[in-house]
Amino acid sequence: MIKLGGYVALCLVTAVAAGDTIHFVGHRIDIPMTHHAFHLLFTTAALVIFAGFVMWDVRRRGWPRFSWRL
Amino acid sequence: MQANASASMASRWGIVQIYALVFGIAYVAVAVLEDILGTSGLKIGGSTILQVTVVQNLIHWVVGLGVLGSFFAGERIAKLVARTVGIIFVVVTVLGFFVEPLTGQLLGFSGGLPLSYNIVHLLTAAAALFAGFAATRAYASR
């Protein structure tokens, strides 16, 4: 669990560093990085990664069934 | 070797846990970036490039920590959190499309809620509900 937490923390720090870098580069080359852009960028990235995993999972195990049960 | 390890870890988790991991990191990253970049109120050429509202930042922290925390808490909790987040985001999306000025004000904007936020909310709600209701245990019967 601690090892897994470490990986998650590493992913989090990488995401923040990437966002900060994009912001810095955008600032240097005069591209206005609006707050809206950060929302779209991070959420779109999360959606793309999640959709990729779902496609991989569906190819491997088939389409999931949906249930109200937890 | 690394790819095999990643595939093995991913197959151990269900769709909902991958949702919790990916979206939890994204929400918390946005919240951290808001706090790092937003406190100084960055402006370029007189135009505000980072508009952080206290309400939004608080929402990002709560949703981010809740979703990321549910990844560690197990599949049942992760499903419960994903469903809750999905339903809340559906309500916010509907409000954003039909009561635009009110939703904007509730989230701390001076005007109406931008369309990009509504699209993000809609896609997030769809992902959360898909993950929250996908029954991983159903795979066992195949």
Distance from CA of A28 to the nearest CA of B (A): 11
pLDDT score, position B62: 93
Neighbours of B77 (CB within 10 A): 17
Top pLDDT among B62 and B13 is at B62
Helix ranges restricted to H, B39-114: 54-73, 75-98, 100-106
pLDDT score, position B125: 93
Dump pLDDT digits (tens) for B10-56: 567 889 999 999 999 999 998 888 887 765 545 555 554 455 678 88
The Cα A35–Cα A26 span in angstroms is 12
pLDDT score, position B49: 45
The position carrying tokens 């093995």 is: B8
The Cα B97–Cα B113 span in angstroms is 9
Beta bridge partners of B134: A66
Put simply, the answer to whether B25 touches A46 (Cβ < 8 Å) is yes
Which value does ipTM take for this structure?
0.78
Least confident among B16-30, B56-70, B82-96, B113-127 = B113-127
Dump pLDDT digits (tens) for A43-61: 888 999 999 999 998 888 8
Residues of chain B neighbouring A33 (CB-CB closer than 8 A): 49-50
Put simply, the answer to whether B135 touches A49 (Cβ < 8 Å) is no
Instruction: With a cut of 80, say whether residue B80 has pLDDT above it.
Output: yes
Among the partner-chain residues A34, A54, A62, the one whose CB lies closest to the CB of B142 is A62
Among the partner-chain residues A23, A38, A46, the one whose CB lies closest to the CB of B23 is A46
Model-level pTM? 0.80
Tokens coding A7: 């990986």
Beta bridge partners of A65: B135
Average pLDDT over residues A4-11: 82
The rounded mean pLDDT for chain B is: 80
**A33 — pLDDT class (breaks 50, 70, 90):** low
Instruction: With a cut of 60, say whether residue A14 has pLDDT above it.
Output: yes
Q: Are A26 and A32 in contact (CB under 8 A)?
A: yes
Please state, for a pLDDT cut of 70, what percent of chain A lies above it. 80
| E-strand stretches of chain A | 65-66
Return the DSSP state at B42: -
Tokens coding A61: 């195990």
Side chain identity at B76, as an amino acid letter? R
**B8 — pLDDT class (breaks 50, 70, 90):** low
pLDDT score, position B40: 53
The position carrying tokens 């999972």 is: A57
pLDDT score, position B12: 73
Instruction: With a cut of 70, say whether residue B79 has pLDDT above it.
Output: yes
The Cα A20–Cα A14 span in angstroms is 10
The Cα A64–Cα B62 span in angstroms is 29
Put simply, the answer to whether A8 touches B68 (Cβ < 8 Å) is yes
**A35 — pLDDT class (breaks 50, 70, 90):** low
The Cα B141–Cα B68 span in angstroms is 29
